[in-house]
Structure 1
Amino acid sequence: MGEQLNAIHAALAYIESHLKESITVADIAASAGYSLYHFIRTFNQTVHHTPYDYLIRRRLSEAALELFTSEQHIIDIALDYQFNNPETFSRAFKRMFKLQPSQWRERGEVPYRSLFPRFLPSYLEHINQMSSLKPALVEREKTFLLGLVRTGCEYTAELGLILTQTLKRVQSGEDKHGFYGVKSHAGKRGTLPCYFLGIETTSPEPPQPPLVIQALPAGLYARFLHEGKSDSLRLTLDYIYHAWLPQSGCGLADSIEVEFFGSEIPQEGKSG
């Protein structure tokens, strides 16, 4: 696996340095030192994208970023990233981002995890060490959670400690089947991402401050098992958003991520 990952790393580096140049999949295979057939098969197995799909997604993401950071004409950006005409660029752009390039530029901000990132060695090593990449699809009823909310989008051990102390102080009678973390990402311009940590509750009634109620909407959830320390969770999320989701046929109904920690609140850096 080490030699295979090194070859794919070389191919990804080659793609990154030629995003604005005309290259073929055969060129990318040559950069990895593989035959075309062997390269395509190995790339698919390791990256979970075809080489061409990965190349196009990286070009579109860099073009999308330039729409915000430069005043270049859309057609010039399209040509820079090897799209031969604005119609081809617009169709590919809308297929990926659900907006026309002009609408994207007018939006003025990058939606959460919409840009396809460069896959780094740490990401490939992480997903190729996971025992299972396939989620369980779970239908959930509407659930109410009791806990604390803070500005930010990550769990911290400090928040876990404050929640534990607060629940003891108010003598919450809720049965702690497990702790949930809920990331709510910025929606409208000017809003900030928030992180909620709490436990299930049977009552949606307003609790005693500083505790708040967070509702998890009913719906179909994709449940993934993260293997590794909490600081590598971002790599699992990269796989979910940029490998599994585009190929799953599923869509996001809400801009939240739900974490389930079980009966013990994790310490930062511990396995989860």
Structure 2
Amino acid sequence: MEWLQRMKDALDYIEGHLEDHIQMGDIAKSAYSSPYHFQRMFYMVTGMTVHEYIRKRRLTLAAQELALARVKVVDVAIKYGYDSPESFSKAFRKAHGISPSAVRQGGVNLKAFPRITFHLSLKGDQEMDYKVVEKQPFTMVGKALKVSMTAEGEHNKEIPKFWSKSHQDGTIDLLISIAADGNVYGVCAEFEEEEDQFTYLIAVTADANSISTEQGLVVKEIPAATWAVFPCIGAMPDAIQKLSMRIFSEWFPSTGYEHAPIPNMEVYPPGDSSSADYRTEVWIPIVKK
């Protein structure tokens, strides 16, 4: 499968340049992909960002060098892209639970993060319904939360909490009162890969003039785009999390589309979102490869 080979080529590129300053554009180029699409695909398929993966691989190799060779901590820090021994020590301790200097004493436990490998997995036994929609620019108004993208899946915990809090403190009622179409949206925007985080908005389509700064709401302009729209049936948030995974691991690799560099959305119409027959949609902005 072509996308599988492209991901393997990207991993080969990363492994061959762990001692260099790696540019995301060069990694994506090795996979014949745009940087934005490659980063989305990598995260959804592996559960971690590209930068997180590179950090873990570098710290694994750094630990091996400190354990097996007579090298200075400062030399290893510089070799693997750290500006100072202090920043390297902080990252190293977080990854391995001990300081770099302690490794050289021998007899200590270290954590190894092996290179990721991709294998062909036959899927597609379940159909995926979707439609392609052209949509003009529109304005979204809502509350925003920065969440972390880590292998521990923090965002899958924090976003449901954000929804619960927004129901309790009246934010949802406020948004519905100014909504143009009666729906509430979950918007994934402003991905900051190097910081391993993105901004999640609970929002509605509305006129920006309908809000005041005292309400603590933010405005997000969404440009004209082509969207792949996927229906989702089931209790939230499990149903939409599973569908999102299928979109990136099954649908994108089998089509001629890439993720456009603008926010994607979840559309939540009125109803009981905990019901097994609750119906919503996932909107993914797309461009032709």
The two structures have a TM-score, normalised by structure 1, of 0.53
2:191 to 186, 193, 196: 186
Asked if residue 245 in structure 1 is aligned to residue 252 in structure 2, the reply is yes
Determine the structure 2 residue equivalent to 1:26: none
Residue 192 of structure 1: CA displacement?
2.7
Distance in 2, matches of 1:59 and 1:217, equals 33
Determine the structure 1 residue equivalent to 2:161: 158
Partner amino acid for 1:60?
D
Structure 2 residues without counterparts, runs of 5 or longer: 47-117, 148-154, 280-289
Distance in 2, matches of 1:244 and 1:171, equals 32
Asked if residue 266 in structure 1 is aligned to residue 273 in structure 2, the reply is yes
**1:1-272 residue pairs with structure 2 within 5 A?**
50=1, 53=2, 56-57=5-6, 59-67=8-16, 70-71=18-19, 94-98=30-34, 111-114=39-42, 117=46, 118=118, 124=123, 128-129=125-126, 132-152=127-147, 153-154=155-156, 156-164=159-167, 165-168=170-173, 172-175=177-180, 177-187=182-192, 189-190=194-195, 192-204=197-209, 207=212, 208-229=214-235, 230-264=237-271, 266-267=273-274
Distance in 2, matches of 1:91 and 1:170, equals 40
Residue 270 of structure 1: CA displacement?
8.7
CA deviations 1:182-211 (Å, max 9, x no partner) are: 011524633731110122213356533322
**What secondary structure is seen at the aligned counterpart in 2 of 1:96?**
coil
**What secondary structure is seen at the aligned counterpart in 2 of 1:251?**
strand
Contact persistence 1:231–1:268 (CA under 8 A): no
Distance in 2, matches of 1:171 and 1:54, equals 41
User: What fraction of aligned residue pairs are identical, expressed as a percent?
Assistant: 16
Residue 173 of structure 1: CA displacement?
4.2
CA deviations 1:191-232 (Å, max 9, x no partner) are: 731110122213356533322222222211110123444325
Partner amino acid for 2:248?
Y
Distance in 2, matches of 1:197 and 1:265, equals 17
Contact persistence 1:186–1:192 (CA under 8 A): yes
The two structures have a TM-score, normalised by structure 2, of 0.50
Partner amino acid for 2:189?
S
Contact persistence 1:231–1:269 (CA under 8 A): no
Count of aligned pairs between the two proteins: 189
Aligned-CA RMSD value: 4.1
User: CA separation of 1:171/1:226 partners in 2, compared to 1, >3 Å: closer, same or farther?
Assistant: closer
**What secondary structure is seen at the aligned counterpart in 1 of 2:163?**
helix
User: CA separation of 1:138/1:171 partners in 2, compared to 1, >3 Å: closer, same or farther?
Assistant: closer
Contact persistence 1:60–1:93 (CA under 8 A): no
Determine the structure 1 residue equivalent to 2:85: none
Query: Which structure: greater strand fraction?
Result: 2
Contact persistence 1:112–1:185 (CA under 8 A): no
**What secondary structure is seen at the aligned counterpart in 1 of 2:266?**
strand
Partner amino acid for 1:66?
E
Residue 179 of structure 1: CA displacement?
1.0
User: CA separation of 1:134/1:63 partners in 2, compared to 1, >3 Å: closer, same or farther?
Assistant: farther
User: CA separation of 1:267/1:134 partners in 2, compared to 1, >3 Å: closer, same or farther?
Assistant: closer
